[in-house]
Amino acid sequence: MGRQSQGTRKQYECICQTCGERFFVPDPGQQRSRRYCSIACYAASRWRSQENLRNQKIYELRSAGQTLGDIAKQYGVSKERVRQICNQEARRLERQSSVVDTLVPLA
Ligand SMILES: [Zn+2]
């Protein structure tokens, strides 16, 4: 019914979110949902969310009064990086709390 003949096997191009490699899948549904070319790249993306956890921890330490220098030494990153992470986290938490506010009914 107006569809392509079975003979031509169309491949749909995807770009891996981790390594940036192009890869191909057999249908457009997969093209939309596949984000990674391989299990290894998927695992790497999970690792990145562990990094998010670390950033959260760094932000907590900073909120608890530790200096940028202390935290930097502890995590083996630069002071500037710690400051960036804290700013990012503050913004992320702000966004989260504004979501929570809309969920909590006002008494
Ligand atoms: Zn990849």
Q: Where are the domains of the chain?
A: 47-102
Cβ–Cβ under 8 Å, residues 62 and 86: yes
Q: What is the pLDDT, as a whole number, of residue 25? A: 94
* Residues contacting 24, CB < 8 A, separation 6+: 11, 12, 13, 14
Ligand 1: distance of its center to the CA of 66 in Å?
A: 38
* Residues contacting 21, CB < 8 A, separation 6+: 15, 37
Ligand 1: distance of its center to the CA of 90 in Å?
A: 31
Residue 7's pLDDT band (cuts 50, 70, 90): low
| 12, pLDDT greater than 90 | yes
Encoded tokens for 70: 């202390």
Q: What is the pLDDT, as a whole number, of residue 4? A: 52
Average pLDDT, the chain: 86
Encoded tokens for 34: 């596949």
Cβ–Cβ under 8 Å, residues 58 and 85: yes
Q: What is the pLDDT of residues 45-85, one digit of tens each?
A: 888 788 888 999 999 999 999 999 999 999 999 999 999 99
Ligand 1: distance of its center to the CA of 99 in Å?
A: 33
